[in-house]
Amino acid sequence: MNTRVTIVDVAARAGVAISSVSSALNNRPGVSEETRKRIVQAAQDLGFVPSLRGRSLSAKRAFAVGLVVHRDPYVLESDPFFGSFIGGIETVLDPRDYALILQMGSEPVETLDRYRSLAANRRVDGVFLSELGVDDPRVPLVRELGLPAIGVNAELDFPMPSVRQGHVEGIRELVAHFARLGHRRLALVTGPHEFIHAGQRRRAWSDAVTAEGLPGGEIVEGDFTYDGGVVAADRLLAGRAASERPTAVMCSNDLSAIGFMARAGELGARVPEDLSVAGFDGIQLGTYVRPTLTTIATTPRLLGLEAARMLLAAVDGERVADVDIEPARLVVRSSTGPAPVLR
């Protein structure tokens, strides 16, 4: 019973050749308006849906794109990024009848193999490259595999098209915010140096601090986790007199900022009275914790949307230009306040 209706059924019902059906349904020229109507009608009557498999073989396309996430599941757990990012991707993929193939590799090596097998049997027509590392081995790999790819928040000299959300503006706003509040002793908690976006945020921070004419301040490396924030708070606050502690800290993502705040409280630093803390990302959780977290809000959904649009264009063989979406902006909430008066 369950034999699907194919193009030959439609052709038979409309009394034409299958090539005509194909032309009619794909709006190719060379078929009269009259028969086109008849064919469309027949297709509709029979509930014809072109077989993806047939199309795929003939068109040499997979009609799918790939996203390989290489993260520890437990980091992913609290990661706001991919949910919204994927949501944005879907928005574009769906109307074009493309699908998203998701792979997860915890080990970096494993990840490379995923790309390799994705390419080997041509399961995808293109891939996203997100969470880029410095000298990321995936870049030469996809190039070698001849796989169209779009970089997400890549460096400016990235060798393939890339979509970016500016971080400079937001960070500059934050530093200005700190300066206006009278802070002089700043500190930064970075992400792991092997991620390029960690380095980007770090440089933007240093530039902004210099531009405001403030002292450089300490920089400690975190790891984008809650725990990393806790450890950073220990490094910057534990065993120090109030006068030696920084009064304003930016953490390179919200999760670590939240960990930082929690530990700061335990170490006797009240937020924001003694210490201002800000994050980066704009995750929901930041509006729930007390005090609510000042942050630089990103829009991963938009990033995904634009990335998908670009990838499909690249798959179609178009030359696609880099895109900069609306930069991440400062969102002031209650974890930042005036610098404490020194005794």
Partner DNA sequence: GACAAATACCGAAACGTTTCGGTTCTGTGT
Partner DNA sequence: ACACAGAACCGAAACGTTTCGGTATTTGTC
Residue 48 interaction partner, one of a copy of itself, DNA, none, beta carbon < 5-8 Å per kind: DNA
Near a copy of itself in 299-328, by CB under 8 A: 301
Answer yes or no: are the C-beta atoms of 281 and 75 closer than 8 Å.
no
Beta strands in the chain (DSSP E): 64-69, 99-104, 127-129, 149-152, 162-165, 186-190, 218-221, 248-251, 276-278, 295-297, 323-325, 329-331
Sorted by sequence, the CB contacts under 8 Å of residue 266 that are 6+ apart come out as none
Copy the structure tokens of residue 106: 């915890």
Candidate list 50, 133, 166, 199; residue touching a copy of itself; CB under 8 A: 50
The window from 22-30, 137-145, 156-164, 275-283 that contacts DNA (CB under 7 A) reads 22-30
Regarding 56 and contact with a copy of itself (CB under 8 A), the answer is yes
Q: Which is nearer to a copy of itself, 57 or 109 (CB)?
A: 57
Candidate list 41, 44, 59, 73; residue touching DNA; CB under 7 A: 59
Q: Give me the least distance between CB of 263 and a copy of itself, in Å please.
A: 9
* CA atoms of 321 and 306, how far apart (whole Å): 12
DSSP 315-334: HTT-----EEE---EEE--T
Regarding 109 and contact with a copy of itself (CB under 8 A), the answer is no
Residue 216 interaction partner, one of DNA, a copy of itself, none, beta carbon < 5-8 Å per kind: none
Candidate list 37, 45, 54, 74; residue touching DNA; CB under 7 A: 54
Regarding 35 and contact with DNA (CB under 7 A), the answer is yes
The window from 57-65, 108-116, 234-242, 302-310 that contacts DNA (CB under 7 A) reads 57-65
Copy the structure tokens of residue 324: 């900069």
Look at phi and psi of residue 191 and say left if phi exceeds 0, alpha if psi is from -120 to 50, else beta: beta
* CA atoms of 322 and 234, how far apart (whole Å): 41
DSSP 122: T
Regarding 26 and contact with a copy of itself (CB under 8 A), the answer is no
Hunting for tokens 């220990």 — which residue is that? 234
Q: What are the residues binding DNA (CB under 7 A)?
A: 3-4, 6-8, 15-20, 22-23, 25-26, 28-36, 48-51, 53-55, 57-60
Q: What are the residues binding a copy of itself (CB under 8 A)?
A: 2, 4, 49-54, 56-57, 60, 62, 64, 73-74, 76-80, 83-84, 86-87, 90, 94, 97, 99-104, 106, 114, 117-118, 120-123, 146, 226-227, 230, 259, 262, 266, 283-285, 288-290, 301
